Structure 1
Amino acid sequence: MGEIRSPYFSIDQEHLKDNAEIRSPYFSSGEDYLGVNAEIRSPYFSFDTQDYHGDNAGIHSSYFSAADYHGEDAEIPSGTFFHQDNIVENPYNAENFVEQDIVQNIYNTEKLIQRAEIEKLYSDLDLEAGAEYRIVKLVLNDENCIYRVPDALRKSNEAIYTPQEVSIGPIHRDKKNLQPMTTQKVRYLKEFCNRVVGETRVQQVKFLEKIWNTIKEDEERIRRCYGDGAHEVAENDQFAKMVLLDAVFILEYLLRNKDFKKYGDDSLLRRNGLRFRIRQDFLLLENQLPFFILEKLYDHLLEDGEGNYTSFRDLAYEYLNRYNASAYKPSDKEILHFTDLVRSSLSVNHPDPRSDEPIGKFYSATKLHEAAINFKEFRDECLLDVKFSSTKGELRIPRLRIDHHTELLFGNLIALERCHYKGEEYICHYVKLLDTLVAKTKDVDLLIKNKIIDTDRDGASVKNLIDKLSAETSEEYSIYYNLYKQLDQHYQNSWLKNSAYFREVYFGNLWRSTATVSAAVLLLFTFVQTICAVVALR
């Protein structure tokens, strides 16, 4: 029986046959196929989807491989590193192979793999059935920033809070429909290592150890970012491995998306529908990693990689800024995650903090228009930067794009504010302002006509969407308190609103106009007839 006496670590494929022996944690990102009577007794770490070992192979210590095929009775008694090498049917003594082609003692996997989730990984193998599976439960604290969406919000439309293609973080990691993306995460991990340090085996191992240690150093801080219930992940290195795969996937995907022409044949990039769904998944509140760990891992690329790369904040901003694009980058503010990055860019410039006085009277768009208030698009401004000029009688509003992802975007921003930004619900206040302006379908039509709303939808559909989003907010106070007050004063002081009311009531459409004119003509004829009768009597 062959022996491999150190932790087994792989980023490709390994083949195990009957009676393989691996003496402690076996770590794999996908499916691991072990032969009959396999025994696992030492750390085994794999970044691929399939692992195969030869007959009677015993693994007892550090073993690191990229694609390894072991013949029967191979014996490798110390830390070894294989890369794309095949040993079949034991054609020569493995000890000589180690001396010729294996870099020894490169990487001590004992430092990398401290614990493993055996019951989870080997449920199909009936191994270690009694293994302890502990769940970490952290209390809520000031570092919480990634939450489960409250049930009150989720029940309105669960789909806008649920990833379709890729899980990021612990909340949706076990969803079966998202598991196929694991293979792509593994592929992107390899590609990221190639990008930074090239294809040299030694350098890749060192770099992998470097980014792993970065995650392990901040593991507890990362865990504390998840709100109540969102952090329930096995208390072992599975959590760190999840962060590694998810974080590197994000980094490599954003880099490839930026250089789309170079990577146009990538299966994740060449289909527009898939690209769109992945972008949406990156926006979801429940589908996040803390921004700080992404920045730290990206910094290793800046330090060790060749070529010119922008900062990660700029890279992420450019990728996500397609949603109601903002000209403002949240440069100074601490960013919590991708959902928060979008919120920050949309609310860089916002009115003063909310007033403690409740919102007073407010008027719809057509009512304001009746009072001689014109609507004007506020170009290249922050979405929330709505201003009124009483001297010009202009309400200036940045253009809002409404399409098939608007509900998902604002739904998750509202959920973030409800969970995290108590007293600073700027997006909620903006949605409530929109709701006051579009009391009727004709209000939407007026805003579309004045290029305040950019959409391919009809007015009724837009109004229903705004009503639905506004129903998730319950704001009696607003950062737009002063704006409401200014509009009310202007409306009350405007004599034009009476003439505007007259036009609306009596000349609002063709039928009203026809009826009004007919009635006026009839009244005129009646008056003339009366005068004629009086004159005739004289």
Structure 2
Amino acid sequence: MDDGEAISVADVVLELIREKLDKVPSLPSDYSIYRVPESLVKEKPEAYIPSRVSVGPFYHGHRHLQPMEARKMRYFKKFLNRQPEATLSNYIKAVRDLEERCYQCYPDDLKIERNRFVMMMVVDGCFILELLHWDENVTTSSDGKWSNLATLDLILLENQLPIFVLEALYQVFINGRVNDSSHQVATATATATATATASVAAAADDHTIRTQLYGLICKYFVPNILRSLLRKEYIINYSSRDHIQELKPEDVDRPKHLLDFVRRFLLPPPPPKYSSEQPEETYDSQRKNKCLQFVPACARELCLGDGIIVMERGVQAALQRVNVPNVHPTVGKHLKCVPGFCKPLEELWRSGEDLDPMLVRCATELEKASVKFEKNKKVTSLLDIKFDKKKGVLTIPSIAIDDGTEIILRNLIAYEQYIDDHSYITEYADFMDGLIDTREDVELLQDNGIVVTTGDPTQVAQLFNNLLKQVRVLVRDTTLVRLEVEEHYNIRCHKWKASLMLNYFNSPWSFISLVAAIILLALTIIQAIYAVLSYHR
């Protein structure tokens, strides 16, 4: 092949690659409603499929949901009758104006005729808004029961509507018409002052209505979901999230949909705002300065973030260069930072050293090392997990287990596989998976108020053991707790103390027997001493 033929072949290959690149769709900025990864669906399909009501395009028209469509339409009709000034045409126009943006929230393989898509957004959106009002005026007990059951379907990842659709429909509901602020702004171009005034007024109106809607969600929807995760007395700690309700119009990081809304209630609250004189840091950058980020050792590598891969010894100096000052001594024992690339830990695996400082031992094993368990009574997030090194007490948020718990956790974990934010719920599930191996672990945590369930402890253990199959876990917020608990476990005197307490102080009779044995031993020694002294005399 001469040079000319080689160049022509290269040009053909170049064109083929360019054609493929041109066909790659750009990811829309509003893309936020995903399909559950196939690997997770195979583990438990029923946890991701709505059983009563479909919302959005993924399960629209599915046969097993058809019997409930009539009830959904009744809710839709009731919502339309709540505000006579707001006509059906107003609601349709509000959604039609957002049609393209709505469409971009879903995967690009979505195939549905646009008019049917708009109709579905209107009906499903109004249905959800009516569901948020059901608690105010429940006509029959069956309505209340069905609403509670339908609420669980609205937490499914594939059963979501964009939150801005609910905002637009609620705006029509409050105002009795479509918000024509954009038209006002466009026609107020006579003077710059008029334009600015119209923009400010529109933003203020949007903020007020959004706050009202978010208040409804916080009052009715979120507590219904949290009841399947939290004990009743702790729900108030989560449901008073003023920072979510008071989001301003310019805040771009608003909830994407109801699942995202609930997830934000379970996260640690944001740090206090900084004064104008103090430079503001992002929440993640603050946490990065407090603790390390890791992938569990079973994933064959440990990751610090920002491209820093943790490997062997000498971690202190490397971490100081990336501004992570607080390094636990256990980390330095095993690891070293190698910037810029990722490398398997084959050498360290072959060395035989303990390479699982990120893994959590089961509760019964930790109890044998004098670790005590307590429920966190002032919890503000699922990851509010603490370890008191002096007392050996591990405090963990209490979790209630019922029929909806696994569905909620699985869909939150599936959602976290896509988003850029840290996977807080996944990390919590990983911590609990480590603590719970068998029914004995569940019973121990039950005795200490950390797990609350009326179900079979074996099934609870299986729930946590199966949650994270096929899921990549990034450990960050619980890193120091894990290291401190492991360090406590490896101190021998703690195991001796636990063994002594278990064998001799676990009941009054054991204690009395021990005291009697000590007294008998003392008397025997005294008798022997007197016998020796008498002999020498």
1:402 aligns with 2:401: yes
For residue 209 of structure 1, the aligned residue among 73, 85, 89 is: 89
Alignment counterpart, residue 240 of structure 1, candidates 102, 118, 126: 118
Number of the residue aligned with 1:437 = 435
Q: Does 1:348 align with 2:225?
A: no
How many residues are aligned here?
381
Matched with 2:309 is none
The one-letter code sitting in structure 1 at the alignment partner of 2:222 is L
1:216 and 1:266, CA in 2 relative to 1: closer, same or farther beyond 3 A?
A: farther
1:312 alignment partner, one of 192, 210, 213:
213
Q: Deviations along 1:271-319, whole A, 9 cap, x unmatched?
A: x2x33321111111111100111012112222239xx997111212222
Residue 386 of structure 2 is matched in structure 1 by 387
Q: Distance in 1 between matches of 2:423 and 2:121?
A: 29
Residues 285 and 492 from structure 1, CA distance in 2 versus in 1: closer, same or farther, beyond 3 angstroms?
same
Structure 2 vs 1, CA of residues 416 and 390 (structure 1 numbering), >3 Å: closer, same or farther?
same
Read off the aligned partner of 1:355 and give its amino acid letter. L
- Distance 1:210-1:423 versus aligned 2 partners, 3 A rule: closer
Deviations 1:249-281 (Å, cap 9, x if unpaired)?
A: 1111221x221xx332386x15x2x33321111
Match of 2:370 in 1: 371
Aligned to 2:67: 180
Task: Tell me by how many angstroms 1:138 deviates.
Answer: 7.0
Q: Deviations over 1:403-432 (max 9, x none)?
A: 1111111011111111x2256111110000
Higher strand share: 1
Is contact 2:488-2:494 (8 Å) kept?
A: no
Cα distance change on mapping 1:169 and 1:476 into 2, 3 Å:
closer
Cα gap change, 1:441/1:188 in structure 2, threshold over 3 Å: closer, same or farther?
closer
Report what 1:112 is aligned to: none
User: Residues of 2 paired with 1:460 and 1:186: CA distance?
Assistant: 41
* Greater share of helix: 2
Task: Note the alpha carbon deviations across 1:204-252, whole angstroms, 9 max, x for none.
Answer: 6xx22222111111111111111253x3212x31110111111111111
Residue of structure 2 aligned with 1:456, choices 454, 457, 469: 454
Residues 485/170 of structure 1: CA separation in 2 closer, same or farther (3 Å cut): same
Alpha-carbon contact 2:370-2:392 (below 8 Å) kept: no
Unaligned stretches of 5+ in structure 1? Answer: 1-136, 198-202
Identity %: 30
**Structure 1 residues 421 and 211, CA gap change in structure 2 (3 angstroms):** same
List aligned pairs for 1:66-81, cutoff 5 A. none
Structure 2 stretches of 5 or more lacking a match?
Answer: 1-23, 178-207, 248-252, 271-283, 297-356, 533-537
Conserved in 1, the CA contact under 8 Å of 2:382 and 2:425?
no
Greater relative contact order: 1 or 2 (C-alpha under 8 angstroms, separation 6 or more)? 2
* Map 1:50-449 → 2, pairs under 5 A: 140-197=27-84, 203=85, 207-229=87-109, 231-234=110-113, 236-255=114-133, 257-259=134-136, 262-265=137-140, 269-270=143-144, 272=145, 274-304=146-176, 311-318=212-219, 319-322=221-224, 323=226, 324=230, 325=235, 326-329=238-241, 330-331=244-245, 332=247, 333-349=253-269, 352=287, 355-359=292-296, 360=357, 362-369=360-367, 370-418=369-417, 420-422=418-420, 424-449=422-447
- Give 1:193 shift: 2.4
Counterpart residue type for residue 79 of structure 2: F
Are 2:95 and 2:118, in contact at CA under 8 Å, matched by a contact in 1?
yes
Q: TM-score, normalised by structure 2?
A: 0.62
1:371–1:495 contact (8 Å) kept in structure 2: no
8 Å contact kept, 1:225–1:290:
yes
**Structure 1 residues 279 and 138, CA, compared in 2 at 3 Å: closer, same or farther?**
farther
SS for the counterpart of 1:227 is: coil
After TM superposition, where is structure 1 displaced by more than 4 Å over at least 4 residues in a row? 506-510
What is the DSSP-based 3-state SS (H/G/I as helix, E as strand, rest coil) of the residue aligned with 1:495? helix
CA contact (8 A) 2:363 2:445 kept: yes
Higher Rg: 1
